[in-house]
Structure 1
Amino acid sequence: MFLGKVIGSVWSTQKEEGMENLKLLIVQPIDWNEKEGGQTVIAADRIGAGFGEKVIVSSGTPARIIFHNKMVPIDAVIVGIVDSYEVPQEN
């Protein structure tokens, strides 16, 4: 899993079977200091994340498990919207 920020949306009128009604968002991975880190990903969103929100993204095989044994061609899925987080500062 990784922390990311929603930076855009993807619209597609034609999708593979199993992807109907899935919103697709462009997510920029970020670090704990909210600095960009890594390549952007397109993630399926079933929980209603919006532009500019910080999200938790699961990728790979765990992302497919959410779809209950359906063969869905998903590599990343948003699993949470971050309200806040705290990282202790090193002294």
Structure 2
Amino acid sequence: MQLGRVIGVAVATRKDEKLIGSKLLITQPISPEGEDRGTPLITVDTVGAGVGEQVIFVTGSVAARALPQENAPVDAAIVGIIDTIQCQTRKE
């Protein structure tokens, strides 16, 4: 699982039939401190997330299992909305 922040919405009027009715969100991976990490990706929303919210997302084969449709062509899915993050950083 990874941390992310929803930065936008992607609308696709034509898509695989197993994705019909799914909301596609543009998600920026972030560090526990909220700093951007890596490249934004399109995720399928399974929990009702919105733009500006911090989320938990999964990638790979486990992402397709987050949807009720079997064998949906999904590489990334939002599986949680973060309320708070408490993180102790290690000082060296």
With normalisation by structure 1, the TM-score equals 0.92
**1:68 CA displacement:** 5.1
In structure 2, the gaps of 5 or more residues are none
Amino acid at match of 2:50: G
Q: Work out the percentage of aligned pairs sharing the same amino acid.
A: 40
In 1, Cα distance between equivalents of 2:43 and 2:61: 13
Secondary structure at 1:51 match in 2: coil
In 2, Cα distance between equivalents of 1:47 and 1:67: 10
In 1, Cα distance between equivalents of 2:54 and 2:67: 23
In structure 1, the gaps of 5 or more residues are none
User: Corresponding residue for 2:32?
Assistant: 32
> Residue deviations 1:35-55, cap 9 Å, x none?
100111100002110110000
In 2, Cα distance between equivalents of 1:78 and 1:24: 10
In 1, Cα distance between equivalents of 2:69 and 2:26: 25
**1:70 CA displacement:** 1.2
In 1, Cα distance between equivalents of 2:2 and 2:10: 20
Aligned length: 91
User: Corresponding residue for 2:3?
Assistant: 3
**1:65 CA displacement:** 1.5
With normalisation by structure 2, the TM-score equals 0.91
Instruction: Report if the CA contact (8 A) 2:5-2:30 is conserved.
Output: yes
- Range moving further from structure 2, 61-70 or 29-38: 61-70
**1:69 CA displacement:** 6.7
**1:56 CA displacement:** 0.3
In 1, Cα distance between equivalents of 2:71 and 2:90: 44
CA RMSD of aligned residues (A): 1.4
